[in-house]
């Protein structure tokens, strides 16, 4: 979703307003930051190894590969990387570490 957003803005910026590229860059960076912030705050991850539910940092959220309903992140409980199920925080009880 994030990469689709960046690609869309990138393509649009090439065809529209090429002389105002810096405005598009601002929109791109701001929009991506908002999206990642929103995503980081609203989603948690369920470890397939130990069943722990955890949140990740904004940087990890941005850098980790996302595969639809799963995300490749490091579990703070068993300290191993795995394809964790993505959960909406509002629907799941979270215990903070
Ligand atoms: Zn785990």
Residue 49 lies in a domain: yes
Residue 97 lies in a domain: no
What is the 13 CA–ligand 1 centroid distance (Å)?
41
Q: What is the pLDDT of residue 61?
A: 87
Helices H / strands E in the chain, number of each: 3, 5
Read off the pLDDT of residues 40-68 as tens digits, 9 standing for 90 and up.
889 999 999 999 999 999 888 888 998 88
Banded model confidence at residue 93, pLDDT cuts 50, 70, 90: low
What is the 39 CA–ligand 1 centroid distance (Å)?
21
Residue 66 lies in a domain: yes
Q: What is the pLDDT of residue 18?
A: 64
The winner for highest mean pLDDT among 1-10, 35-44, 48-57 is 48-57
Residue 18 lies in a domain: yes
Residue 77 lies in a domain: yes
Distances (CA, A) of 25 to 14, 20, 31: 11, 9, 10
61 lies in which domain range?
A: 2-91
Number of domains in the chain: 1
Residue 24 lies in a domain: yes
What is the 81 CA–ligand 1 centroid distance (Å)?
8
Residue 86 lies in a domain: yes
Residue 16 has pLDDT above 90, yes or no: no
Residue 96 lies in a domain: no
Q: Whole-number mean pLDDT of the chain? A: 85
Residue 59 burial class via C-beta count within 10 angstroms: exposed 0-12, middle 13-18, buried 19 and up = exposed
């Amino acid at each position: 979703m994030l990469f689709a957003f960046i690609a869309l803005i990138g393509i649009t910026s090439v065809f529209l307003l090429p002389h105002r590229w810096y405005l598009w860059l601002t929109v791109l960076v701001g929009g991506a930051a908002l999206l990642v912030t929103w995503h980081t705050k609203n989603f948690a991850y369920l470890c397939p190894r130990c069943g722990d539910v955890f949140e990740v940092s904004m940087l990890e959220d941005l850098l980790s590969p996302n595969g639809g309903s799963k995300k490749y992140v490091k579990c703070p409980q068993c300290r191993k990387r795995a394809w964790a199920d993505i959960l909406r925080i509002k629907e799941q009880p979270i215990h903070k570490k």
